[in-house]
Structures are given as structure tokens and as C-alpha cells.
Amino acid sequence: MLVEKYNPLEGKRLEILDKEGNIINESLVPDLSDERLIELYKTMLLARMTDIKALQYQRQGRMLTYAPNLGQEATQVGSIAATEKRDWLVPAFRELGAWLYKGVPLEQVFLYWYGTEEGSNFPEDVKMLPISVPIASQLNHAVGLGMASNIKGEDDVTIAYVGDGGTSQGEFSEALNFAAVFNTPTVFVISNNHFAISVPRRSQTKAKTLAQKAVAFGMPGIQVDGNDLLAVYAATKEAVDRARRGEGPTLIEAVTYRLGPHTTSDDPTIYREESEVEEWRGKDPLKRLKKYLINKKIWDEGKEESQNDEYEKFVNETFKKVEKYGLVPLEDIFKYQYEEMTPNLVEQYEAYKKYTEGGEK
């Protein structure tokens, strides 16, 4: 098993595809058809195009604060692709590639960042919890889903995401402990992008890896190259299969890098050197997978250009549709906190209506 061969306590990291798109571990290449590889790459391309355009829309004053995903597409798509439609996705707030692959319509992604409650109203067949901005709180929700699966005798798996900074939160430890003790079918993915806003990974823990934190909770842990889609997929597929067999949770640390700002309110030039960013640009997950696909003769520059043109048009048209929604009704603040408004919210809502109906602004 990969979790045994790549013991994080021994400083081992799973890598299959190097930054030049060459296979360096032939025996570990996952069984993915050419059609599936193209599908995953296209999802990464759509996520990248969406990310680029979203940043532009925000800078133009057309959208609210946005959290870029640039550079983390392989971690997101490679992991979610190892799950099945029946499985649960529990996100943080920077898993755009995973959301798109899971089936969340791009329109709803934009509606969320546009500030509307409809952005969290996913289709019935998309088993995903709402985007979670509070750091690491979503991990306990994921464990709860896993416990429910066990109680109901179902074999669905829950995959949950957190950043490297989230591992310093109490909820991280609580979730992993409960998952291990109750043997829940949960796969935890740490998107180690090296920064929690401006705080570097080295300030989060003295542990050599984040994956080794699994040891203290009695579950397998593995560190993978998060910019290597094949490695991320292979590690996650093993973890998902293990969870589905009733063998409990796994912790995966995907080492990647946030090439852009933490959010559009952040200026990363204050706390990191451009030379570091440039070094990681050379490890771009899209570039390496593209080279791999071209080497396999299933992709070329013509297809790349055509696909990007198609996605740019699609993204622009989708956002224009979202802009037609207009301003977000203030009533949504009251109506969407709970399934039914609490007495306090009802009282506040009635006061709000009386205030506005009286002609006051």
C-alpha cells in the first residue's frame, strides 16, 4: 500500500509525474483512460480560466472578495476524481476545481462570490456541503457525515479539505480524533499551499510534515506532490477504497503552492519573495499534465487554444447572466441562516420590514 511505502515519518513523498511531464514511477501510474485524463485536464483548464476571469471581475468592481485557486488545480481535481458521485464533498473555500468536477454549475460558483444565497443552493444530485469560510470547522461536519454513513449502513465516503493553516485549529485535531475513534469513512486532504494568508507553513508546526500528524490519531497519513495530478489521484483512490471497505479515515497532505493572493484583499508581495513564486510557476500543475498528454499524443497546442477560447466565452457569458440578478435582497440575511427563522431572527426581520415600509432608508 502507498501509505506504507511512503511513510511521512521517513520523509517520503509520493511523486509520479515530474515538473517536465515525465513519468518517474511507472509502476504507480493509476489506471486512467485517455478519455478520463482529457476530462480531468479540461476541468483543470476550466478552473484556471474561471480563476483568471474572476480576479478580473473583482478588480473591475463587478464581484465581491474572491479567493484565487491558481496553482492548486491538480490537488483539487486529482483528489475529487478519485471519489464517486454518491460520495460527499465537504469543502473549505478554495476548491474550485473540485466543485466543478463534482457538478456544481459555474453559475452557482459565481453567485456565491457575487454574494447571493442561491450560490449555496446546489442541485439535488450534487452531494456537497456549502462553502465554509470559518477555518477547519467543516472537518467536524465531514466526520459527522461519516458517522451517519456508518449508522445507516451505507458505503459512501466523505472527502474534506483544509489548508495548512487549518491544521493549527482545534477543530482539525477534534475531527481527526473522532474520525479515527469512530472509524468513519473520511478522507482528509490538506492543501498545503505554504501560506495561511501571510503566515508561512513553518510557523504552523515544528513537525517535518503535516501528513505525519495522522500518526498521533491512529490513522494512515501520506504526503504527495500536490501539483502532480497522477500522484494525488493515486493516493486519494487508495484512501477512498480503504474507507469504503470500512477500514477508516486517511490523512493526505498535498504539497502545492498558492501562486496568487490569499484573497483579492491580500497583497502577497508584502510577505513572500517573487523568486519563490517564480520557482513554483515552473512546477505549474497544468503545464506538467499538458506535457504528459502531449507526450502521449492525445493533446496538442491546437486543442489547447480551441478549448481555452471555448472556456473564456463560456465563463464570460455565465458571469454576465449572474450580473443580471441585481442586488442581493437584504431579506436573505434573515431567511437563509436556518431552515426556519428563529424567534430572534423573526423579531429582527419584522423590525426591518417596519423600518423599510415606513419609508426610512
Which residues are tagged catalytic?
258, 262, 271
Other CB atoms within a 10 A radius of the CB of residue 84 amount to 12
Rounded (to 5) percent helix, strand, coil in the chain: 50, 10, 40
Pairing, β 195-196 against β 250-255: unpaired
Straight-line distance from the first to the last Cα atom of the chain, in angstroms, rounded to the nearest whole number: 64
Residues 6 or more apart in contact with residue 68 via CB below 8 angstroms: 51, 54, 55, 94, 258, 259, 260, 261, 263, 264
Give burial (CB, 10 Å; 0-12/13-18/19+) of 360.
Answer: exposed
Cα 204 off chain centre by: 20
* Maximum Cα interatomic distance, the chain, rounded to a whole number of Å: 72
Calpha distance 89→161 (Å, rounded): 8
Calpha distance 285→289 (Å, rounded): 6
Matching residue, cell 485536464: 41
DSSP string of 329-359, one letter each residue: PTTHHHHTSSSS--HHHHHHHHHHHHHHHTT
Calpha distance 235→248 (Å, rounded): 15
Q: Where are the alpha helices (DSSP H) in 91-228?
A: 96-102, 106-114, 137-152, 170-181, 213-217
DSSP string of 258-325, one letter each residue: --S-SSTT--GGGTS-HHHHHHHHTT-HHHHHHHHHHHTTS--HHHHHHHHHHHHHHHHHHHHHHHTT
CA distances from 252 to 131, 232, 244, 255 (A): 20, 9, 16, 10
